[in-house]
């Protein structure tokens, strides 16, 4: 089937994925450049997988804050285009991913900062994009030639030419880089970083937080209470940049392994360690045991839409997440997935009351984009 026009394509996508287009979380494309528009079309195109049927948006869905849409029962990690294959990690939101800096070591603070993927293994959106296309547990295209053939079959030549002129799709290598540039351009567009939550409106003086949300914000910021802002900063930067709710550093929170993670049961080709698999996160990337178990601090924007939580999807609700921060060291929680390098200074015994836990959750719910200022 050829979907040559964009509106027809979106109609089909809507049918297939129930993408309602009801909020500003989705489809106003008027502000996109031709390259971003091409990137958007590619991002939603389910024909770029083997077998056909999985787009970037299947796992990074606009109605789910560009993370995996809710599955019942909640899935720890995303199935691939081949539905019996699973990756090892929970799908993160890609909203605000445009702001993630390249992985680097901050000598002054002595910490690693930045890098895409939860372990920082890719340095830019351009470098990241080819991963899922050819990853056997994701979109699973066999090679670049197959991608080029799919694009031609789908009638992309004309749009590529509009964006890239004479050099459009002249060979496999060019086509892959043109495609990744377009996908990255779309992911850098305002559509994916709209800063349109209730909290943004509050920071601009255009909305009031409820009493409970305000209490939650205060707990979030207070060093002797939630202390969340120590890693998930909540205030505008000196340059006026609205907060991203991450400082892009890495931590091992002592998150337990998730026995529900279907990755443990994957074939030995995909997961040679079987049930004994341990996700060492940053440690494996920088080849340093002192970084084992650490994952990049994720943004909390749109967090109400992106359950389950943590790198392995072990927690199903925000209440559970906050309960973990609050009582990790005082109640019986399963042991950490990686026992070394656990952060024992900033969390684990916060002494929050049940009401305070609920207040924190209420505050996090103000971080969902698409708030309509009354
Ligand atoms: C099968 C589900 C799936 C598909 C399809 C998929 N992704 Fe992802 N995506 C993931 C998972 C899981 C991660 C986290 C992986 C990790 O950290 O190792 C991720 C991570 C990312 C990140 C990094 C986010 C961050 O916070 O570091 C970006 C950007 C991204 N994906 C973009 C894309 C694009 C573009 C496509 C299409 C070409 C795509 N994804 C297709 C599941 C998917
Ligand atoms: C020491 C740094 C640090 C502090 C303090 C901190 N966090 Fe986090 N937060 C992280 C890291 C790192 C992760 C990801 C861990 C993982 O995936 O294993 C995370 C993950 C989360 C997640 C899940 C995000 C997702 O997309 O799955 C939520 C929700 C969250 N934090 C909320 C909070 C709240 C609320 C507080 C305060 C009570 C807080 N955090 C304090 C570092 C921190």
pLDDT in tens, 9-61: 433 343 334 333 333 444 456 789 999 999 999 999 999 998 888 899 999 99
Which tens digit of pLDDT belongs to each residue from 170-216?
Answer: 999 999 999 999 999 999 999 999 999 999 999 999 999 999 999 99
Residue 7, pLDDT above cutoff 80: no
* Model pLDDT, residue 84: 64
Gap between the Cα atoms of 341 and 356, Å rounded: 28
Q: Ligand 1 pocket: which of 38, 41, 56, 192 to mutate (most atoms <8 Å of CB)?
A: 56
Look up residue 208 and give its two tokens.
Answer: 């009031």
CA of 326, nearest ligand number? 2
**Checking phi first, is residue 269 left (phi over 0); if not, alpha (psi -120 to 50) or beta?**
alpha
- Determine if ligand 2 sits within 6 Å of the CB of residue 179: no
CB 12 within 8 A of CB 48: no
Looking at the CA of 325, which ligand is closest? Answer: 2
Mutation probe of ligand 1 site: the residue of 138, 191, 302 with most atoms within 8 A of C-beta: 138
- For residue 255, how far is its CA from the centre of ligand 1 (angstroms)? 21
Beta-carbon contacts of residue 322 (< 8 Å; ≥ 6 apart): 226, 352, 357, 360, 361
First to last CA, the chain: 44
Contact between 185 and 191 under an 8 Å Cβ cutoff? The reply is no
Handedness of CA 198, 75, 256, 282 (dihedral sign): negative
Pocket of ligand 1 (CB under 6 A): 54, 56, 58-60, 78, 80, 87, 89, 91-92, 94, 97, 100, 116-119, 125, 128-129, 132-133, 138-139, 183
**What whole-number distance in Å separates Cα of residue 46 and Cα of residue 81?**
9
pLDDT, position 71: 65
Q: What is the pLDDT of residues 300-329, one digit of tens each?
A: 999 999 999 999 999 999 999 999 999 999
Ligand 1 pocket test, candidate residues 39, 44, 59, 114, most atoms within 8 A of CB: 59
Q: Which two tokens stand for residue 352?
A: 């929050």
pLDDT at 65 over 70: yes
Q: Which residue's C-alpha comes closest to atom 2 of ligand 2?
A: 231
User: What is the model's pLDDT at position 274?
Assistant: 87
Question: CA angle, corner 89, sides to 93 and 315, nearest 5?
Answer: 80
């Amino acid at each position: 089937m050829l979907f040559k026009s964009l509106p027809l394509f979106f109609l089909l996508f809507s049918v297939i994925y129930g993408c309602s287009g009801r909020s500003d979380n989705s489809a106003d494309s008027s502000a996109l450049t031709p390259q971003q528009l091409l990137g958007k079309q590619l991002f939603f195109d389910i024909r770029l997988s083997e077998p056909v049927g999985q787009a970037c948006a299947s796992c990074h869905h606009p109605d789910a804050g560009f993370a995996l849409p809710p599955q019942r029962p909640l899935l720890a990690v995303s199935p691939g285009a081949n539905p019996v294959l699973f990756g090892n990690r929970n799908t993160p939101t890609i909203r605000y991913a445009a702001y993630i800096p390249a992985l680097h070591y901050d000598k002054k603070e002595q910490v690693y900062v930045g890098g895409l993927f939860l372990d920082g293994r890719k340095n830019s959106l351009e470098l990241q994009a080819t991963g899922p296309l050819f990853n056997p547990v994701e979109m699973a295209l066999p090679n670049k030639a197959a991608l080029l053939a799919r694009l031609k079959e789908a009638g992309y030549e004309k749009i590529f030419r509009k964006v890239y002129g004479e050099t459009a799709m002249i060979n496999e290598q060019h086509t892959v880089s043109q495609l990744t540039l377009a996908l990255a351009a779309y992911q850098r567009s305002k559509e994916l970083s709209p800063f349109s939550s209730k909290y943004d409106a509050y920071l601009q003086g255009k909305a009031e937080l409820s009493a409970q949300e305000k209490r939650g914000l205060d707990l979030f910021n207070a060093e002797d209470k939630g202390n969340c802002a120590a890693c998930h900063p909540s205030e505008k930067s000196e340059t006026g940049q609205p907060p991203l709710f991450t400082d892009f550093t890495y931590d091992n929170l002592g998150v337990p392994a998730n026995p529900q993670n279907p990755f443990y049961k994957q074939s030995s080709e995909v997961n040679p360690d079987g049930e004994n698999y341990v996700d060492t996160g940053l440690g494996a990337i920088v080849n340093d045991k002192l970084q084992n178990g650490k994952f990049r601090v994720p943004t909390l924007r749109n967090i109400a839409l992106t359950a389950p939580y943590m790198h392995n999807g072990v927690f199903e609700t925000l209440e559970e997440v906050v309960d973990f921060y609050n009582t990790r060291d005082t109640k019986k929680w399963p042991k950490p997935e990686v026992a070394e390098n656990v952060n024992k200074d900033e969390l684990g015994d916060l002494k929050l009351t049940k009401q305070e836990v609920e207040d924190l959750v209420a505050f996090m719910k103000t971080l969902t984009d698409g708030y309509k200022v009354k």
